[in-house]
Every structure is written in structure tokens, then in C-alpha cells.
Chain A
Amino acid sequence: TQLLEQSPQFLSIQEGENLTVYCNSSSVFSSLQWYRQEPGEGPVLLVTVVTGGEVKKLKRLTFQFGDARKDSSLHITAAQPGDTGLYLCAGLPSGNTPLVFGKGTRLSVIA
């Protein structure tokens, strides 16, 4: 079973601070996805990264896929209270095999 280790598990920061969430594995993934989940709702896709070394930006969020396609990071610049939620990374081992999820990072941004 391929595992994704996500860190930190919890993060509480002040509005305006920057933060980085990490997702690491010893296995190679064909692609990696980041989801955000609000209380009482299912996860919603933020981004998919496919190519080793790829960097994608979504407003204040920057996603990076490691060169070896074994790790990824999510960086948030100038965090806002609206960024509060559970962030999940998920890796696609290959083809049509199911996604493997990390355990999530619960982010709290305090105004």
C-alpha cells in the first residue's frame, strides 16, 4: 500500500502569515491532487499536478510537485480566515487505480 505522509497535522496561524504544508511518500505517483474540505462537506479539488517539478499557482496558493513525483507542497501567502479548513493531498499511483489520501492538515487562520 502506498502511503502519503502529510505534515503538519494541525496549524494555527495569524491572518497575514505565510505557511507551507508538505506531502511526502517513498512511492512515485503519476499525479498528485490537493483538496480542501469544509465542515459538513466533502473534499473539493483545488489543483492537480502531473509533471515532476511542476508549479501551479491559484491566487495566493502555490502548489509544487517534486522532481521525482514522490512529494508535493502547498504554500499559502498572506493567509486569511477564509483559508481555514482541512487540506488533503491525494496521490494517483497509476492509471485508474484509486486515489491514496494523506491524513490531512487542519488549518486555522485567526483574524
Chain B
Amino acid sequence: NAGVTQTPKFRVLKTGQSMTLLCAQDMNHEYMYWYRQDPGMGLRLIHYSVGEGTTAKGEVPDGYNVSRLKKQNFLLGLESAAPSQTSVYFCASRMTGSSYTFGSGTRLTVV
């Protein structure tokens, strides 16, 4: 089925560990986004990309890095995880003028 696939779905990290979240879309979408969702905070934009090889900072970029080496993939990296990064992470993609398609999320716990 076409859509946005996020891996992994769940992960527990120790403080200071690193990890990469993968977002893959098979819809040839130009734009891709990483959001985090915390209780009572809605969805907050971390980083986004307007095309292959481009990235830009969103509202809450500190502590995260991203890469878009291939059009279909958008990677979110945590170099040194902190408990404040415990959250549910959502990836989304879209074409110009279209609505967002979201993945089903990655639930990350940092202990």
C-alpha cells in the first residue's frame, strides 16, 4: 500500500545513546516533515525538507539532525538522546498544493 512508513515503531534508549529514525514514502512527494507530539502540545515541527538534498529547521530543531539523500527517504537522527526527547515522532510528506500524508509514528522513550 502506498503511503508513509516509519521505522522503528517503538524504541527505548538510554540517555546519551544515539539512534536514527527512518521515514520512507513511495508517492514521489517533494516535501517531507518530522514532527514530535507530546501530551497537550500538539504537533511541533522539528525539521523539514523541500526536496532531495535540502533540509531546514522547524520550531524545535535542537538535539536533532536530518538528512534527505534520496527523495523517498527522510532520516531523523538523535546524536545524544535526552529524557526530554521522549515523545511520539511523526513523519509526513506531500506534493506541492496537496495535503499531508502522515506515517503511524515512532514512540521513543529515553531513560
Contacts and interface: CB of A to CB of B under 8 A. Distances in A.
Interface string B14-42: 00000000000000000101010000111
Could you tell me the dominant secondary structure of chain A's interface residues?
loop
Nearest to A4: B42
B1 interface: no
Interface string A41-62: 1111100100000000000000
Contact of B102 (A1, A42, A98): A42
A75 to B, nearest CB: 21
B84 interface: no
Given A1-B59, A48-B99, A96-B31, A104 B104 contact: no
Contacts of B48: 98
Interface of B: 4, 31, 33, 35, 40-45, 48, 50, 58-59, 90, 92, 96, 99-100, 102-105
13 contacts: A33-B100, A41-B104, A42-B4, A42-B92, A42-B102, A42-B103, A43-B43, A43-B102, A88-B43, A98-B58, A99-B100, A101-B35, A103-B42
